[in-house]
Copies of this chain bind each other. A is one copy, B any other.
Amino acid sequence: MTVLEAAVPTPLPSPLRAALADRFGDRFSTAAAVRDHHGKDDSHHAVQPPDAVVFARSTDDVAFAVAECARHRVPVIPFGAGTSIEGHVQAVHGGVSIDLAGMNRVLAVRPGDMDATVEAGVTRQQLERELKGTGLFFAVDPGADATLGGMAATAASGTTTVRYGTMRDNVISLVAVLPDGSVARTGGRARKSAAGYDLTSLFVGSEGTLGVVTELAVRLHPVPEAVAAAVCAFQDLAEAVESVVQAVQAGVPVARSELLDATAMRAVNRYSGLAYVESPTVFFEFHGTEAEVTAHGEVVQDVCRSLGGSAFRYARRQEERRRLWKARHDAYPALLALRPGGRGLTTDVCVPVSRLAQCIAESIEEMNAAKVPWGIVGHAGDGNFHVAFVLDMDSPEEVAEAEGFNERMIARALAMDGTCTGEHGIGIGKRRYLEAEHGAAGVAAMRAVKQALDPLGIMNPGKVLP
Q: Is there an interface contact between B168 and A198, defined as CB atoms closer than 8 Å?
A: yes
Which residue on B lies nearest to A197, using beta carbons?
B446
CA distance A183 to B442 in the complex (A): 8
Which residue on B lies nearest to A437, using beta carbons?
B195
Q: Is there an interface contact between B196 and A353, defined as CB atoms closer than 8 Å?
A: no
CA distance A185 to B451 in the complex (A): 20
**A182: CB under 8 A from chain B?**
yes
C-beta contact mask, A411-435 vs B, less than 8 Å → 1, else 0?
0011011111111111000100110
Given contacts A197-B202, A295-B291, contact A384 B192 (CB under 8 A): yes
Q: Is there an interface contact between B113 and A446, defined as CB atoms closer than 8 Å?
A: no
**A143: CB under 8 A from chain B?**
no
Q: Is there an interface contact between A249 and B192, defined as CB atoms closer than 8 Å?
A: no
Q: Is there an interface contact between A195 and B421, defined as CB atoms closer than 8 Å?
A: yes
The interface residues of chain B lying within 8 Å CB-to-CB of A311 are none
C-beta contact mask, A345-369 vs B, less than 8 Å → 1, else 0?
0001011111000000000000000
Q: Is there an interface contact between B190 and A198, defined as CB atoms closer than 8 Å?
A: no
Q: Is there an interface contact between A430 and B383, defined as CB atoms closer than 8 Å?
A: no
**A155: CB under 8 A from chain B?**
yes
CA distance A189 to B288 in the complex (A): 29
Q: Is there an interface contact between A183 and B441, defined as CB atoms closer than 8 Å?
A: yes
Partner of A419, one of B188, B420, B433: B188
**A25: CB under 8 A from chain B?**
no
Query: Least Cβ distance of A176 to chain B in Å?
Result: 9
CA distance A166 to B440 in the complex (A): 29
**A32: CB under 8 A from chain B?**
no
C-beta contact mask, A237-252 vs B, less than 8 Å → 1, else 0?
0000000010011110
Q: Is there an interface contact between B445 and A199, defined as CB atoms closer than 8 Å?
A: yes
**A15: CB under 8 A from chain B?**
no
Q: Is there an interface contact between B199 and A438, defined as CB atoms closer than 8 Å?
A: yes
Q: Is there an interface contact between B178 and A445, defined as CB atoms closer than 8 Å?
A: yes
Given contacts A192-B423, A222-B250, A438-B196, contact A112 B354 (CB under 8 A): yes
**A452: CB under 8 A from chain B?**
yes
Most B CB atoms within 10 A — which of A186, A196, A289?
A: A196
**A274: CB under 8 A from chain B?**
no
The interface residues of chain B lying within 8 Å CB-to-CB of A192 are 155, 157, 161, 166, 168, 350, 382, 384, 419, 422-423
**A301: CB under 8 A from chain B?**
no
**A169: CB under 8 A from chain B?**
yes
Query: Least Cβ distance of A218 to chain B in Å?
Result: 13
Q: Is there an interface contact between B354 and A289, defined as CB atoms closer than 8 Å?
A: no
CA distance A191 to B162 in the complex (A): 9
C-beta contact mask, A106-126 vs B, less than 8 Å → 1, else 0?
000011111100000000000
The interface residues of chain B lying within 8 Å CB-to-CB of A421 are 193-195
CA distance A451 to B205 in the complex (A): 22
CA distance A289 to B289 in the complex (A): 13
Which residue on B lies nearest to A110, using beta carbons?
B354
Given contacts A114-B248, A289-B251, A445-B199, contact A422 B224 (CB under 8 A): no
Q: Which residues of A contact B (CB under 8 A)?
A: 110-115, 135, 154-157, 161, 165-166, 168-169, 178, 182-199, 201-202, 204-206, 210, 222, 224-225, 245, 248-251, 288-289, 291-292, 295, 348, 350-354, 382-384, 413-414, 416-426, 430, 433-434, 437-446, 448-453, 464-465
- CB<8 Å pairs between A and B, sample of 25: A113-B354, A156-B194, A157-B194, A166-B192, A182-B444, A184-B442, A188-B352, A190-B352, A190-B383, A191-B350, A192-B350, A192-B419, A192-B422, A194-B422, A195-B430, A195-B434, A196-B426, A196-B438, A196-B446, A198-B204, A199-B442, A199-B445, A201-B201, A201-B202, A225-B251
